[in-house]
Amino acid sequence: MRIRPRRLQPGDTIGIVAPSSPPVQENLERSLAFLEQLGLKWKLGRHVYNVHGYLAGMDDERLEDLEGMFADPSISGIICARGGYGSARYTDRLDLQLIRDNPKVFWGYSDITFLHTAIGQYSNLVTFHGPMLESCVAKDTFHELSAAMFRQLFEPMELHYTDDISSLNALAGGSAQGEIVGGNLSLLADTIGTKFEIDTKGKLLLIEDIGEEPYRVDSMLNQLRMAGKLTDAAGIVIGDFSDAEPKKERRTLSLDEVFHHYLGDLGKPVVEGFKIGHCEPHFAIPLGVEGRLDADQKTLTILPGVE
């Protein structure tokens, strides 16, 4: 069983880091009022506003901020400013024992998927796949349900997703129970062949992505198929795949055709339509806890992520 971080309390201090791409300062500052509404204080990583091309500073600087927040006893949880690209560039140097010895809330998604996978498998810590500050909270489109999902950090709560939240479609029936792993499909494919290769055996695999045309989703699912990750999984949770339309007119398969080809005949439950990912609302979930996917009833139940 993975380590569940301590629940947050009003008055706790949240560490804010930019593990990947640089946030827009004005937008990040706008999002801080939300943390204050939650009763939280905040502390910015020293290098949050650094810029090195498409990266939020040099690799060493982003690594220093992330490790520093885990090591700092005054920090009760860590929320990422945004995703983008770059977390995998230093993950092989990340002190995963430090994180294991200092378990605390770690929250983000998208490019942060690579960190979720590494921390889950080597630090044995439950982490949270949820909307980030600059890229989500600061926007006018930030949904009240997305905001409400932060409540799970303050008290242990079982999450229940039904088609009352969004229209769900079962590609394959049945039910399965297992630890929930995964996140952004591109980053999951990037783990294959590395020390941080995603482990899906007996687990519920979550996939989501943005801006990937059907042929790209096809390629990444094929990579997972050939690596045995789809057959190993107990069930598949398909989150949001936004902006997936072909960029120019050409012969193509639809995204649904791609999903049915790779996931429809696995002999295990597969459900699509979850508002998890680059979308509003964004239903935030803990990774590394037990969940139950029932494709016949079209429900997903997830155990609490904090203690």
Percentages (nearest 5) of helix, strand, coil residues in the chain: 30, 25, 45
As given in the structure block, the two tokens for residue 287 are 């990774």
Indicate whether 248 pLDDT > 90. Answer: no
Question: Whose CA is closest to 271, among 248, 240, 229, 302?
Answer: 240
Q: Which residue in the list 47, 116, 129, 278 is annotated as catalytic?
A: 278
Q: Between vectors from CA 1 to CA 82 and to CA 67, what angle results, nearest 5°?
A: 35
Residue type, 279: C
Q: Is 219 a catalytic residue?
A: no
- The predicted pLDDT at position 48 comes to 98
Indicate whether 224 pLDDT > 90. Answer: yes
3-state secondary structure (DSSP) of residue 294: strand
- Give the C-alpha separation, 12 to 73, whole Å: 11
Name the band, by pLDDT with cuts 50, 70 and 90, for residue 250: confident
Q: What is the mean pLDDT of residues 116-124?
A: 98
Q: Is 260 a catalytic residue?
A: no
Q: Alpha carbon of 140 to those of 30, 136, 143, 221: distances in Å? A: 11, 9, 8, 33
Q: Which residue in the list 31, 87, 110, 186 is annotated as catalytic?
A: 110
Q: What is the mean pLDDT of residues 276-299?
A: 98
Q: Which residue in the list 67, 179, 208, 272 is annotated as catalytic?
A: 208
Q: Is 143 a catalytic residue?
A: no
What is the C-alpha R_g of the chain?
A: 18
- Give the C-alpha separation, 243 to 11, whole Å: 39
As given in the structure block, the two tokens for residue 72 are 């700092």
- The predicted pLDDT at position 273 comes to 98
Indicate whether 199 pLDDT > 80. Answer: yes
Average confidence score pLDDT of the chain: 97
Q: What is the mean pLDDT of residues 263-271?
A: 97
- The string of pLDDT tens digits covering residues 141-157 is 999 999 999 999 999 99
Indicate whether 249 pLDDT > 80. Answer: no
- The string of pLDDT tens digits covering residues 185-196 is 999 999 999 999
